[in-house]
Amino acid sequence: MGREIERKFLVQGEDWKQGAAVTPMRQGYLSTDPERVVRVRIEGDRAVLTIKGKSVGAVRGEWEYDIPKADAEELLALCPRPLIEKSRYRIAHAGMLWEVDEFFGDNAGLVVAEIELQSEDQAFDKPHWVGAEVTQDARYYNSNLLRHPYKDW
Amino acid sequence: MGREIERKFLVQGEDWKQGAAVTPMRQGYLSTDPERVVRVRIEGDRAVLTIKGKSVGAVRGEWEYDIPKADAEELLALCPRPLIEKSRYRIAHAGMLWEVDEFFGDNAGLVVAEIELQSEDQAFDKPHWVGAEVTQDARYYNSNLLRHPYKDW
């Protein structure tokens, strides 16, 4: 497997951006059923097929497979439009890795930070640019941003 | 990719069974959307994640990835019930490979033969136990046999 423990937060300001490593991402969904999401993602030169189970709190089953980038392009062509396009910034802070996603297209203006944990109650230090937690808010699932993009909120 | 050209036929009698190599198969679906089917299958010791695009005649896009069997067991647990259970028999005839699927559970009594071709108009010899063609009949898609099993036809 495959168990992802992740917390998600809104982001304030632009301070986080400076010097962060950035990867362009394009992703689509073969299934957006929350009990069995199937995602195709191209991130830089890598392509990944990911299956996610049902979320229970911050915990979610996750299975990830590297696939050829050419396959991923073909699989993205099968996915309903629009695709999700975003830039992912990776930022080290107090020994932890933060991933900040800046969305484009219909989700432009949305910026979300995620941190992956080893356990649900793991303590961590929040950078000053991290705002309100939205882990439990299903609107922020990327698979939901397709049907209800940020511009319509 | 990924392009599968396959024709499907009903099977008559039991003559085909003798001496055929048999593999037990158990499969479920993360998506049964006909434009983007996602199938998890355990066949003997092998486990495969398969994506199928929309069928156009006998042609269908297909992408297949071997995955660990332990992952497949977990992914099958995400799939809606019931799973499809069948025995696949592989039978050589006139230089071609026929695959005969004998279904169990709610699809018991259904036996279907498939042949994979290199082109749509490729000629092949039919064994005497091969009956009516059902390539175009969507009822026979395994992904449809879940919701409309053979016992309800």
ipTM value: 0.86
pLDDT at B59 over 90: no
* A31 has a chain B CB within 8 A of its CB: yes
Segment (H or E) for A153: none
CA–CA gap between residue B109 and residue B100 (Å, rounded): 13
* Cα distance between residue B153 and residue B147, in whole Å: 11
CB–CB contact A35 B78 (8 Å): yes
Tokens 């999401």 sit on residue: A37
Q: Do the chains contact at A78 and B61, CB–CB below 8 Å?
A: yes
Whole-model pTM? 0.88
Nearest-angstrom CA–CA distance, B125 and B130: 10
Span of A33-37, A58-62, B72-76, B79-83 with lowest mean pLDDT = A58-62
Distance, CA of A98 to CA of A66 (rounded, Å): 22
Position B1 scores a pLDDT of 64
B49 touches chain A (CB under 8 A): yes
The distance of B85 to chain A (nearest Cα, Å) reads 20
> A35 CB near a chain B CB, below 8 Å?
yes
- Tell me whether residues A78 and B51 touch, CB distance under 8 A: yes
Q: Which residues of chain A have pLDDT under 70?
A: 1
- Residue B58 confidence (pLDDT) above 80: no
Closest by Cβ to B35, choosing from A1, A53, A78: A78
Residues of chain B with pLDDT > 70, as a percent, come to 99
Tokens of B14: 């039991």
Is A140 assigned a catalytic role? no
Helix (H) or strand (E) holding B72: helix B69-78
Rounded CA separation B85/B28 (Å):
9
> Which has the closest alpha carbon to A12: A129, A143, A112, A101?
A129
Interface of A with B in 56-75 (CB under 8 A): 61, 63, 65, 67, 70-71, 74-75
